[in-house]
Amino acid sequence: MDVLITPFLSNSFMLQALIAGVLVSIACAIAGTFVILRGLAFIGDALAHGVLPGIAVAILAGFPGIIGAAIGATFMIGGITLITQRSRLSSDTAIGLLFIGMLSLGVVIVSRSSSFSGDLTRILFGEILGISIQSILIQLVATAVIITIAIVCARPFLLLSFDPEQAEVAGFSVRLYHNIMLFMIAITVVVSFQTVGTLLVFGLLIAPAGAGALLARRIEAMIAWAMLFGGLSMYIGLLISYHFNLAAGAAIILVAIVIFFLVFILQNIRNRRITLHQEVKHG
């Protein structure tokens, strides 16, 4: 038991990392569920990387990275919306261009910094083991906002995932609720980058919710599974990183991906058994 609990009780940085990690998991479970249901994975990915130049400028100028990330995310969403509406290009082309552009801009800006590789590593992979109480509080507020949005917009979000035309005819503006959904994803990315980094936040957005989608029959259940898998990834990832002296952010995401594939494989085996069982019964 010591191996499983003591690291968190005897080290405040481990406990803070776990608390921040669980909050991130809750936010990512909700946002990630809708990213998957609405097929917004590419936008999620682009947002996660598009915040890079914002953070880079913020770090160079000496103000909190989170403000730069928020500005970067706003620019990204605005750019995607503008290009999609004003041109005949499909949105993934627009997103792809902005995404690579923002990523390059971010790296170019960071390369001006004296501690180039250190800063870049922190931005890309996060610093969950050095998370401050202040960051946890911001994360707490953001998670509360995301939960509130998900509850208030439950019906339009469900209709939007089911069929946008139905949502519009039912009186829920597709444009409005789509933007609220993007806003929710953006908040998640912006506040999560400090924990697992911009490169890895996308994994936490997709992997637990993806595993949930394989198991759930209802959207509420999918979110609940995603929270459970996300929290579990945090806990196991932090333990592994502590005991084997490995990079924490990457360890967490690896665990999340492994959980996804375990669920995927177990479900395939189960489905095959059911099919075999039915064949035996009928055959």
The span from the CA of 73 to the CA of 183, in Å, is 9
9: region left, alpha or beta (phi > 0 left; psi from -120 to 50 alpha): alpha
The span from the CA of 256 to the CA of 216, in Å, is 17
Shortest Å distance, C-beta 180 to other proteins: 11
DSSP letter, residue 175: H
In the bound state with other proteins, the residue whose beta carbon lies nearer, of 182 and 222, is: 222
In the bound state with other proteins, the residue whose beta carbon lies nearer, of 140 and 168, is: 168
Shortest Å distance, C-beta 32 to other proteins: 12
Distances (CA, A) of 5 to 8, 17, 23, 235: 6, 14, 19, 10
123 within 8 A of 108, measured Cβ to Cβ: no
Shortest Å distance, C-beta 92 to other proteins: 16
The span from the CA of 45 to the CA of 204, in Å, is 11
Q: Which member of 69, 142, 201, 219 binds other proteins (CB under 8 A)?
A: 219
Return the range that interacts with other proteins (CB under 8 A); candidates 35-43, 55-63, 131-139, 244-252.
35-43
Contacts (CB under 8 A) with other proteins, residues 94-133: none
182 makes contact with other proteins (CB under 8 A)? no
Q: Phi then psi for 239, rounded to 5 degrees? A: -60, -50
Q: Which member of 11, 141, 155, 270 binds other proteins (CB under 8 A)?
A: 155
218 makes contact with other proteins (CB under 8 A)? yes
Q: Which member of 128, 189, 222, 236 binds other proteins (CB under 8 A)?
A: 222
Q: What is the DSSP string of 4-62?
A: HHHHHHH-HHHHHHHHHHHHHHHHHHHHHHHHHHTT-HHHHHHHHHHTHHHHHHHHHHT
86 makes contact with other proteins (CB under 8 A)? no
Shortest Å distance, C-beta 255 to other proteins: 22
Q: In terms of Cα–Cα distance, which of 193, 158, 154, 140 is closest to 23?
A: 140
28 makes contact with other proteins (CB under 8 A)? no
The span from the CA of 262 to the CA of 248, in Å, is 21
Residue 246, classed as helix, strand or coil, is coil
Residue with tokens 């953006």: 186
248 makes contact with other proteins (CB under 8 A)? no
283 makes contact with other proteins (CB under 8 A)? no
171 makes contact with other proteins (CB under 8 A)? yes
Distances (CA, A) of 227 to 164, 194, 211, 262: 26, 19, 11, 17
Shortest Å distance, C-beta 217 to other proteins: 5
Q: Which member of 31, 37, 51, 206 binds other proteins (CB under 8 A)?
A: 37
Return the range that interacts with other proteins (CB under 8 A); candidates 118-126, 161-169, 191-199, 234-242.
161-169
Return the range that interacts with other proteins (CB under 8 A); candidates 19-27, 154-162, 191-199, 254-262.
154-162
Q: Which residues bind other proteins (CB under 8 A)?
A: 36-37, 39, 152-153, 155-156, 158-159, 161-166, 168-172, 213, 216-219, 221-222
